[in-house]
Amino acid sequence: MKKEWQFSYEDFDSWKELSEEDQLLVQKAFSICEDAYAPYSEFKVGASMKMSDGQIICGSNQENVAFPSGMCAERVALFYAGSNFPDLEVLTLCIVAKGPFTSIDKILSPCGGCRQVILQSEARQKNKMRVILVSQNDYTLVLDSAKDLVPFAFI
Ligand code: THU
């Protein structure tokens, strides 16, 4: 029997249409993105997370000459939070990127490995993790739950 998988998200022409709180999160992600270490791909990615105690934790991608040794921005931020604040929840995760690696109108979307990690971080906490994805042309997607990123997740 043919079935369909459904998920919902909001979209905005620009992240500047988001609430002030979300806009601040986007700005923090862009700010950390500047200092990403991405000499090989030249694709700088920034992740910011609004935590349940109100603080914002950020991370950027860190590349390495031995390619698999590098790490994506989302995982840098999530693993830092998991290490230092294991009892805090991530209320909202925001991801932005800059660089010629992808065309400007391509929707920014986390890689498969990051989706798996994001999903498990959400599963560990009581509340849903919102996800804000800002493409290079400012087009923005907002998901209510990280779960919507992966159908038939291994979790
Ligand atoms: N990257 C991230 O930081 N997050 C993702 O979800 C996808 C890819 C990084 C990894 C690498 O440093 C660069 O972007 C190009 O793949």
CATH of the domain spanning 9-149: 3.40.140.10
Which residue's CA is the nearest one to ligand 1's atom 13?
Answer: 43
Q: Which residues of 10-26 are buried (b: 16+ CB within 10 A; e: fewer)?
A: eebeebeebeeebeebb
Give residues with Cβ within 8 angstroms of 70, minimum separation 6. Answer: 40, 61, 62, 63, 64
- Burial class of residue 107 in the structure, from the number of CB atoms within 10 Å of its CB (0-12 exposed, 13-18 middle, 19+ buried): middle
Amino acid 155: pLDDT: 87
Say how many C-beta atoms besides its own lie within 10 A of residue 4's C-beta. 4
Q: Which residues line ligand 1 (CB under 6 A)?
A: 38, 41, 43, 45, 61, 63, 70, 72-74, 101, 110-111, 114
Nearest Cα residue to 54 out of 26, 92, 94: 92
* pLDDT tens string 78-136: 999 999 999 999 999 999 999 999 999 999 999 999 999 999 999 999 999 999 999 99
pLDDT interval class at 10 (50, 70, 90): very high
